[in-house]
Structure 1
Amino acid sequence: MKIRDLLNIIEDTAPLSLQESWDNSGLIVGDPNADVEKVLVCLDVTEAVVDEAISKNCNLIISHHPIIFKGIKSLVPHGYVERTVIKAIRHEIGIASMHTNLDNSPVGVNKRIADKLGLIRASILDPKVGLLKKIVTYAPQKEAERVRLAMFEAGAGNIGNYDSCSFNVVGEGTFRANALAQPFVGQQDKLHTEAEVRIEVIVPHYQLNRVIESLLKTHPYEEVAYDVIPLDNSWTNAGSGMVGFFEQPMKEKDFLELVSATFEVPMVRHSPFLNRNIQKVAVCGGSGAFLLSSAKRAKAEAFITADIKYHDFFDADNALLMVDAGHFETEQFTKELIADILRKKIPNFAVLFSEVNTNAVGYYFK
């Protein structure tokens, strides 16, 4: 299997176009056309992880955090990033990362956190805006069903928990074919009126080209009329964080015990207790304090994330219990998430977990 093909399996679940503008997800080091024999999955790429890949004969590392966030002007071994990249290149080991594209997937990092906590009815906390397009096309009545189904199969027509969604209205189309045309209906140099169906479907922007290609391939007309309309709607199938419910409410201390046990962290930082039961919980793996206002709007009773600054705790403003469970700790399940995606599609392929602890934060108790 080629590196490109293997990464496409993950990108079907977490398209690279879902990543944030500042991110660097995807293949970072290596040849996409190279054969891949074994994959090592990790949270962070370090020199020790590359050494582990060498010892385990893995020629591709897939991490959550990109080894390169910003541009590198030279590859000299001054820092750990450069040393890691040089070592990977020297040993022909590819490095790919699935970061905020996996964060923003509805079955990604935050869904895995929600599942680990036992949350039910989980949904995107802060849906993305501007990722949807509407395609409008016109097909002869007898061909409309075939055209519509082709667009559905290519990825159009999904709204929330529903698929095959479309709007259809019958009307009349007119056209005159010139001497060079080969019309499906009508004749050259004669004005023709055809009973047609106007078909409207919604499509995520990253599937737009695939849907248009399917439309053009299936539509019987020589010249296919279609419109692509950008939408400002929020899209509940992609976005930051998640919010869900416990089956039963629990006391705040019991909740913190659950958080500590789930993320295997010896301590958690939190805002002052509010002496309320907790049932609705918002989560965001990694640095998610920017979602505090979204958690408040969702009326969550607690918000779990990491890297919370001192003044962020004040912003909780007695609306909810804000909990910092650690960056590494809240994202640790990403390794098994990536492995599960690959093993579901290619069950006999060798996907190994890194055994290197890359958590850069320690805890000292006196």
Structure 2
Amino acid sequence: MTVKDTIKILEEIAPLAHAEEFDNVGLLVGDLATVVEGILVTLDTLENVMDEAIEKKCNLIISFHPIIFKGLKKLTGDNYVERTVLKAIKNDIAIYSMHTALDNSNMGVNAKICEVLGIKHPKILIPKTGTIKKLTTYAPVAKATTIKSALFRAGAGDIGNYSNCSFSTEGVGSFKAGGDSNPTIGKIGEIHYEKETQINVVFSFEKEKEILTALFKVHPYEEVAYEIVKLENPNQHIGMGMVGHLETEMDEKQFLNLVKEKMNASVIRHSQFLDKKVKKVAVLGGSGSFAISAAKKASADVFITADLKYHQFYEAEKELLIVDIGHFETEQFTKDLLVDYLIKKIPNFAISLSESITNPIKYL
């Protein structure tokens, strides 16, 4: 198995196309063709993690946070980023980062938080927009079902919890084949009229290549008429944060003690208690102040995140309880999620959960 093969497996859970534009995800160091001897999964790629990979004979590190975030202008070992990258290059170790691609996954960071805290039936808190496209194409009536089936198999037609969704209308298409054409129906030089079906399906934007490949493979026409437009509809399967319900409601202090225990949080900062029961909980791993308004809109009783500033606690405005448990603490189980996923996908392969401590924040 090569690095490229491994990345293909990882993109099933977190396509890089779903990452935020500001992010730096994907293969940061290494060669796609390298044969993988062992995989080390970590939250951060630091020098001690690199030493661990060398010791465990792992030549691929899968990291949540990217060690290279801003552009590198030199590699002299002046800081921890340069030293880590240099050590990776010297020891032929590839580094792959997932970061916001996994943040936006409905099976990623926030789904894991919900699992740990027992939050049931979680849904995306801030669905991503601009990730859905619509394909419109035209085909002879007799071939419409075959074409739709092929498009569905390629991943088109998913809307929320429904699949194989499409809309069709029938009409009459016309064309005149030119001298160098090879028409399936009609004659060269003559205008032909054909009863056709207009087929409309939506799809997630990263599947465009597969969708068009399927269309061209089964469509009977030499020249396939189609158009693709980007929709601004929110995508229910991709986005930041999640919101769901506790199986049993509890009071605020009881819930925060549960959070502290389950999330191994040394310190919890929170807004004013509201003296009400906690039932609906929103979560967002990492820095999530931008989602406070979304948590309110979702009518969450509690919003759990990290890296909140002093004045941002005021934004609770007695509508919900805002809880900051720490950046590392919200994302710490991400590596467990990835190890479990990879073991299922590639059993009997050397996959290791990093034991290195990478949390830069200490508590007295």
For Structure 1 versus Structure 2, the TM-score category normalised by the shorter chain is over 0.9
Q: After TM superposition, give the deviation of residue 247 of structure 1 in Å.
A: 1.7
Distance 1:344 1:143 in 2: 39
Q: After TM superposition, give the deviation of residue 289 of structure 1 in Å.
A: 1.1
Matching residue of 1:57: 57
Matching residue of 1:262: 262
Matching residue of 2:136: 136
Matching residue of 2:122: 122
Matching residue of 1:174: 174
Distance 1:226 1:106 in 2: 31
Distance 2:330 2:324 in 1: 9
Deviations along 1:272-304, one digit per CA (max 9) or x if unpaired, are: 100010100100011111100110111101000
Matching residue of 1:163: 163
Matching residue of 2:4: 4
TM-score by length of 1: 0.98
Deviations along 1:105-137, one digit per CA (max 9) or x if unpaired, are: 111111111111111121000011111110000
Matching residue of 1:69: 69
Q: Which amino acid is 1:234 matched to?
A: P
Instruction: Name the SS of the counterpart of 1:173 in structure 2.
Output: strand
Distance 2:229 2:266 in 1: 51
Instruction: Name the SS of the counterpart of 1:286 in structure 2.
Output: strand
Matching residue of 1:97: 97
Instruction: Name the SS of the counterpart of 2:212 in structure 1.
Output: helix
Q: After TM superposition, give the deviation of residue 79 of structure 1 in Å.
A: 0.5
Decide whether the 8 Å contact of 1:9 with 1:341 is kept in 2. no
Computed over aligned residues only, the root mean square deviation of the Cα atoms, in angstroms, reads 0.9
Matching residue of 1:112: 112
Distance 1:105 1:304 in 2: 18
Distance 1:121 1:58 in 2: 37
Instruction: Name the SS of the counterpart of 1:239 in structure 2.
Output: strand
Distance 1:307 1:332 in 2: 15
Matching residue of 1:211: 211
Q: Which amino acid is 2:153 matched to?
A: E
Distance 1:4 1:340 in 2: 20
Matches within 5 A, 1:37-48: 37-48=37-48
Q: Which amino acid is 2:342 matched to?
A: L
Instruction: Name the SS of the counterpart of 2:89 in structure 1.
Output: helix
Q: Does residue 190 of structure 2 align to residue 195 of structure 1?
A: no
Q: After TM superposition, give the deviation of residue 199 of structure 1 in Å.
A: 0.6
- My pick for the range that moved more, 333-342 or 35-44, is 333-342
Q: After TM superposition, give the deviation of residue 267 of structure 1 in Å.
A: 2.1
Matches within 5 A, 1:277-292: 277-292=277-292
Tell me which stretches of 4 or more aligned residues in structure 1 moved more than 2 Å. Answer: none
Instruction: Name the SS of the counterpart of 1:160 in structure 2.
Output: coil
Q: After TM superposition, give the deviation of residue 10 of structure 1 in Å.
A: 0.7
Distance 1:302 1:130 in 2: 28
Instruction: Name the SS of the counterpart of 1:220 in structure 2.
Output: coil
Decide whether the 8 Å contact of 1:19 with 1:101 is kept in 2. yes
Distance 1:231 1:122 in 2: 25
Q: After TM superposition, give the deviation of residue 341 of structure 1 in Å.
A: 2.4
Distance 2:167 2:332 in 1: 43
Instruction: Name the SS of the counterpart of 1:255 in structure 2.
Output: helix
Q: After TM superposition, give the deviation of residue 15 of structure 1 in Å.
A: 0.8
Deviations along 1:247-274, one digit per CA (max 9) or x if unpaired, are: 2211001110110011111221111100
- My pick for the range that moved more, 341-350 or 14-23, is 341-350
Q: Which runs of 5+ in 2 are unaligned?
A: none
Instruction: Name the SS of the counterpart of 1:275 in structure 2.
Output: coil
Distance 1:117 1:265 in 2: 13
- My pick for the range that moved more, 53-62 or 228-237, is 228-237
Matches within 5 A, 1:188-337: 188-337=188-337
- My pick for the range that moved more, 210-219 or 76-85, is 210-219
Q: After TM superposition, give the deviation of residue 206 of structure 1 in Å.
A: 0.8
Q: Which amino acid is 2:256 matched to?
A: L
Instruction: Name the SS of the counterpart of 1:45 in structure 2.
Output: coil
Deviations along 1:155-209, one digit per CA (max 9) or x if unpaired, are: 1111111111111111111111122211111122222111111110001111112
Distance 1:250 1:197 in 2: 55
Q: Which amino acid is 2:341 matched to?
A: I
Q: Which amino acid is 2:111 matched to?
A: K
Q: Which runs of 5+ in 1 are unaligned?
A: none
Matches within 5 A, 1:145-160: 145-160=145-160
Q: Which amino acid is 2:310 matched to?
A: Y
Distance 2:13 2:335 in 1: 15
Deviations along 1:295-317, one digit per CA (max 9) or x if unpaired, are: 01111010000111111101111
Indicate the percent of aligned positions where both proteins have the same amino acid: 51
Matching residue of 2:361: 361
Q: Which amino acid is 2:148 matched to?
A: R
Decide whether the 8 Å contact of 1:282 with 1:300 is kept in 2. yes
Matching residue of 2:343: 343
